[in-house]
Amino acid sequence: MYDFVEGNKDLKDLLGGKGANLAEMTGMGLPVPPGFTVTTDACRAYLRTGSLPSGLFGEVDQHLRRVQNSTGRRFGDADDPLLLSVRSGAKFSMPGMMETILDIGLTDTAVGGLARRHGDERFAWDSYRRLIQMFGRTVFDVPADAFEAELAAARSAAGVRDDADLTAAQLREVVHAYKKVFLAHTGREFPQSAYEQLVLAIGAVFRSWNAERAVLYRRQERIPQDLGTAVNVMAMVFGNRGANSGTGVAFTRDPATGRRGVYGDYLRNAQGEDVVAGVRNTVSLTELATIDPACHTQLLSIMERLEQRYRDLCDIEFTIEDGKLWMLQTRVGKRTPAAAFVIAAQLVDEGVITLDEALQRVTGEQLAALMFPSFDTGAAPPPLTTGVPASPGAAVGAVVFDSAAAAAATEPVILVRRETNPDDLPGMIAARGILTSRGGKTSHAAVVARGMGKTCVCGAEDVEIGVDSCTVGGRTVRAGDIVSVDGASGRVYAGEVPVRPSRVMRYFEGERTAHGDPLLAAVQRLMVHADHVARLAVHANADTAADAARARRFGATGVGLCRTEHMFLGDRRVLVERLILATDGAQRQAALSALLPLQRADFEELFAAMDGRPVTVRLIDPPLHEFLPSLSEMTARVAEARGRGEDPGSDGELLAAVRRMHEQNPMLGLRGVRLGLVVPGLFAMQVRAVAQAAAARVAAGGDPHPEIMVPLVGTVQELETVRAEAESVLASVPGAPPIRIGTMIEVPRAALTAGQIAAAADFFSFGTNDLTQMTWGFSRDDVEGAFFGRYLDLGIFAVSPFQTIDVPGVGELVRLAVERGRSARPGLTTGVCGEHGGDPASVRFFHDAGLDYVSCSPYRVPVARLEAGRAAA
């Protein structure tokens, strides 16, 4: 257990983020109410054993004594009670996911003392009813609605709209009603011992770590499930003591755009969650300058000191009690992807951080989000309404008013709610976008959506939300109606608005000039630095000259995978059919000769587009039957012809071929190098096309760097056989430049025998899609839809291994193959050409594993470049 005066911001593992930062602020001499932190160790012990560690109570007593000394009040005292807040706080921020209980220590007798001490009956009863409500909900799971119903009844009996307008006598009645609710739901009276309240509250906060919504949030955010939360116990200060009091939240820079200048919301005469819950409308921080100039000035100077200390955007929670400012929380604040880039560049300009550090302040995921399209507002109708632009993006979908419906939807949906709370999380995850009618940029909906990179507009106050419809400006929008939500402008449109590419995408696609746009300037600056420090090169998967040209504009320095089978589709399919149906060498040769010039022409264009850079051409990989019609189609076609009494002719031969080539398990069948060894002349034709195309480019003054890559090799003998044939073909083409021959490593056996295979390979390229499929025994075409959802729910993995490399399994094979390959052949080039090459977390792993390059789809190239830089910086 740590007193706030003992800890500091670097003890997040033990004290949680909130506790560590409260300690840091205390150490800076900022006005923080006194308190202490029960560590995450105690939480883990509690979660293991189900009871609070025995030594805990003595320690609580000791620390409590210090709080009593510095406040001059006693916990449990009838005349001048010390009240406490008990707050969760994990290492990683989980906004609103876990529990906090305020006003602990109030009892039937203490409420009178509190009222007398402050000369304010109303405030005392308001605090007591808040305690019963939060305590009942958190510790005993009393449904929130049961309390809300009593409060609503009191408001309507008194004829007021706002809780703040209830009188002391009316609130006293609410307390009586609440205690009945408590008794009815728990079978016991509301505890009248302050100490018992405290102990129960600490246990409840620990338990809230495993609340369903918290588990889900951690899974979504990839936060480990075994960290546990700390508990912060601190003296209460009161924002609900009248017009000179209030509570607020603020950011040191705009978390949506990154613009300099403080931003925040303040609510007078309010406590705790009132601001964040968006239940009442807040005023902006600038208005605080009029309401309480002294506190406003003090707050601004504190915020400046916090930025200097944390060297980053901070968000804070504060309370003003009767004209005195108290700091209740700070942390490095969440921000939109655009703000992340802008702020990182600003901090470099301000001399606060280095460019290397700036790279750590942004992520590939954020860059990917910035490359998404936005609405073409020129083509949009007048908006239905405009709310607070809380999290950018362009979301189009059918309206749903209920989170369960959103979670169950199969079509894209927009979740529309008055406000959200942590129970809405599954629906928020499933929805394309979120729209609320209440709350600002710091409301639950806004904070959570920003964290998930999800489009969100909140506080659209003119939207009146009913059960299965809402009205806005006299129009009715029903469940199922399509709306378009613009998270960048806050505008909401009826119907589907066309989308246009992002500024950042346009920047990468060609203009490559920032035009004074602070976001583009920041992206440019960080990308230049990423390229400068990166050790991993970024190539692209590109099958056509157009793809290769785009990849080059996006910054790719080569083609890491050209899939040649794509060159066999369309009207060339008949040539492949002829190859498959060939019954003798002459027919086969004729079919191959017809394919050769077509392939050569494709390669010439591709090499021209990547002139001066490596282009890795993979010989044909998929099973040949993929080029034929399906068995069922051919069977039906032949049966129909016969039914009409006709001779099926060539369809009959085709059916026979389809039957002959049919496989139960084509992905484990005749494909890749196996095909090359079984169909004479096929690989030779492809190698010849590569060599001739390269020779033609050289003759035309170009600088082609083709490489030939053999897929699906499992043993060195396969590669040796193909290599011998390829080398003799290469030698027979005059004018061809030197062409390296390498292999894919995508069969586990190839990884294990990499030392032998390296003897016949100039390079390795890890085909991590197949390697994942074959290592796990997961059919990648089937499992994602079939059972991965369940696996993710069960936490068997946090993310599909086809999306992010499975480091301990598949990753281990990669490491091992690199090591064995390099020791057999020093200087062996190694790369990756699976989907993982564009996945941020995987790129970092490939850097660590010492690969030379990753290759990914052209659109992911900027993301991979940024991550390669981040990994090296």
Do 868 and 843 contact (CB within 8 A), yes or no? Answer: yes
Exposed (0-12), middle (13-18) or buried (19+): which is 667, by Cβ within 10 Å? middle
Amino acid at 131: L
Cβ-based nearer residue to ligand ADP, 93 or 257:
93
CA 108 – CA 81 distance, rounded (Å):
12
- Provide the terminal-to-terminal Cα distance of the chain, rounded to the nearest Å: 37
Select from 306, 312, 314 the least CA-distant residue to 353: 312
Q: How far is CA 193 from the centre of its chain?
A: 44
With CB under 5 to 8 Å by kind, the binding choice for 770 among Mg ion, ligand ADP, none is Mg ion
Give least dist CB 87 to ligand ADP, A. Answer: 3
96 binds, among ligand ADP, Mg ion, none (CB under 5 to 8 A by kind): ligand ADP
Q: Which does 746 bind (CB under 5 to 8 A by kind): Mg ion, ligand ADP, none?
A: Mg ion
767 binds, among ligand ADP, Mg ion, none (CB under 5 to 8 A by kind): Mg ion
Check if the beta carbon of residue 607 is closer than 8 Å to that of residue 691: no
- In angstroms, the CA 277 to CA 419 distance is 7
x/- letters, 261..300, toward ligand ADP (CB under 6 A): -----------xx---------------------------
Q: Is residue 563 part of an annotated ligand binding site?
A: yes
Residue with tokens 């889900």: 216
Q: Does the annotation place 767 within a ligand binding site? A: yes
The torsion defined by the Cα of 666, 668, 674 and 680, in degrees rounded to 10, comes to: -10
Task: Pick the closer one to ligand ADP by CB: 239 or 383.
Answer: 239
Instruction: Tell me: does residue 100 bind ligand ADP (CB under 6 A).
Output: yes
Q: Scanning residues 5 to 34, which ones bind ligand ADP (CB under 6 A)?
A: 33
Q: Is 24 annotated as a binding residue?
A: no
- Written as one letter, the residue type at 411 is E
SS3 of 789-820: HHHHHCCCCCCCCCCCCCHHHHHHHHHHHHHH
Binding mask 298-337 for ligand ADP (x = CB under 6 A): -------------------x-x--------xx--------
3-state secondary structure of 548: helix
Helix (H) or strand (E) holding 583: none
Among 43, 52, 102, 559, the residue binding ligand ADP under the rule CB under 6 A is: 102
Which residue sits closest to Mg ion, CB atoms considered? 770
Strand order of the β-sheet with 314-321 is 283-284, 260-268, 246-253, 314-321, 324-332
Among 358, 761, 785, smallest CA distance to 529 is for 358
Q: Which does 11 bind (CB under 5 to 8 A by kind): Mg ion, ligand ADP, none?
A: none
635: left (phi over 0), alpha (psi -120 to 50) or beta: alpha
Span of 95-103, 332-340, 578-586, 656-664 interacting with ligand ADP by CB under 6 A: 95-103
**Minimum gap (Å) between residue 237 Cβ and ligand ADP:** 4
Output the smallest distance, CB 439 to Mg ion, in A. Answer: 15
Annotated catalytic residue within 63, 296, 444, 529: 444
| Nearest residue (CB) to ligand ADP, 204 versus 687 | 204
The nearer residue to ligand ADP, 33 or 767, going by C-beta atoms, is 33
Burial of 243 (0-12, 13-18, 19+ CB in 10 A): exposed
Measured from the CB atom, is 374 or 768 closer to Mg ion? 768
Nearer to Mg ion, 120 or 317 (CB): 317
The partner in contact with residue 247, picked from Mg ion, ligand ADP, none with C-beta cut-offs of 5 to 8 angstroms by kind, is ligand ADP
Let me know if 833 is a catalytic residue.
Answer: yes
Looking at 43, 458, 470, 833, which residue is catalytic?
Answer: 833
Q: Is 782 helix (H, G, I), strand (E, B) or coil?
A: coil
| Rounded distance between C-alpha atoms, residue 3 and residue 86, angstroms | 14
CB of 415 to ligand ADP, least distance (A): 21
If you compute the radius of gyration of the chain from its CA atoms, what whole number of angstroms results?
A: 33
CB of 161 to ligand ADP, least distance (A): 22
DSSP secondary structure string, 172-222?
Answer: HHHHHHHHHHHHHHHSSPPP--HHHHHHHHHHHHHHHTT-HHHHHHHHHHT
Choosing among Mg ion, ligand ADP, none, which partner's interface includes residue 319 (Cβ < 5 to 8 Å by kind)?
ligand ADP
Please, are residues 762 and 768 in contact by the beta-carbon 8 Å criterion?
Answer: no
CB of 27 to ligand ADP, least distance (A): 18
Per-residue tokens: 5? 């005066």
Binding site for Mg ion (CB under 5 A): 317, 329, 746, 767, 770
Pairing state of beta strands 537-541 and 385-386? unpaired
Choose the stretch contacting ligand ADP; rule: CB under 6 A; options: 232-240, 616-624, 647-655, 720-728: 232-240
Residue 100 or 753 with smaller CB distance to Mg ion? 100
Output the CA–CA distances (angstroms, integers) from residue 205 to 9, 103, 551, in the order listed.
Answer: 21, 15, 50
Closest CA relative to residue 238, chosen from 106, 147, 427:
106
Using the minimum distance from each CB to Mg ion, give the nearer residue, 136 or 623: 623
CB of 520 to Mg ion, least distance (A): 34
Mark residues 48-87: x for contact with ligand ADP by CB under 6 A, - for none: -------------------------------------x-x
How is residue 554 written in tokens? Answer: 């996006």
User: How are beta strands 829-832 and 853-856 bridged, if at all?
Assistant: parallel
Can residue 420 be called a binding residue for ligand ADP (CB under 6 A)?
A: no
Task: Tell me how far, at minimum, the Cβ of 618 lies from Mg ion, in Å.
Answer: 8
Asked if residue 374 lies in contact with residue 440, where contact means CB atoms within 8 angstroms, the answer is no
Contacts (Cβ under 8 Å, ≥6 apart) of 196: none
Ramachandran bin of 439, using left for φ above 0, alpha for ψ from -120 to 50, beta for the remaining angles: left
Residues 103-122 binding ligand ADP (CB under 6 A) are none
Residue in 201, 237, 559, 726 binding ligand ADP, rule: CB under 6 A: 237
Shortest separation between residue 767's beta carbon and Mg ion, angstroms? 4
* Binding characters for ligand ADP, 187-226, by CB under 6 A (x = yes): ----------------------------------------
Q: Are 327 and 25 in contact (CB under 8 A)?
A: yes
Question: 130 or 550, CB closer to ligand ADP?
Answer: 130
Would you say 746 is a known binding-site residue? yes
CB of 27 to Mg ion, least distance (A): 20
Exactly one of 16, 19, 34, 96 binds ligand ADP (CB under 6 A); that residue is 96
**42 vs 713, beta carbon nearer Mg ion:** 713
CA–CA gap between residue 283 and residue 142 (Å, rounded): 32
Closer by beta carbon to ligand ADP, 321 or else 746: 321
Q: Which does 33 bind (CB under 5 to 8 A by kind): ligand ADP, Mg ion, none?
A: ligand ADP
CA dist., res. 22 & res. 354, Å (int): 27
Angstrom distance (rounded) from CA 296 to CA 682 = 77
- Min dist. Cβ of residue 118 to Mg ion (A): 24
Which residues carry a binding-site annotation? 563, 618, 746, 767-770
Active-site residue numbers? 444, 833
Which residues carry a binding-site annotation for Mg(2+)? 746, 770
The binding site for ligand ADP (CB under 6 A) comprises: 33, 85, 87, 95-96, 100, 102, 234-237, 247, 272-273, 317, 319, 328-329
Which residues carry a binding-site annotation for substrate? 563, 618, 746, 767-770
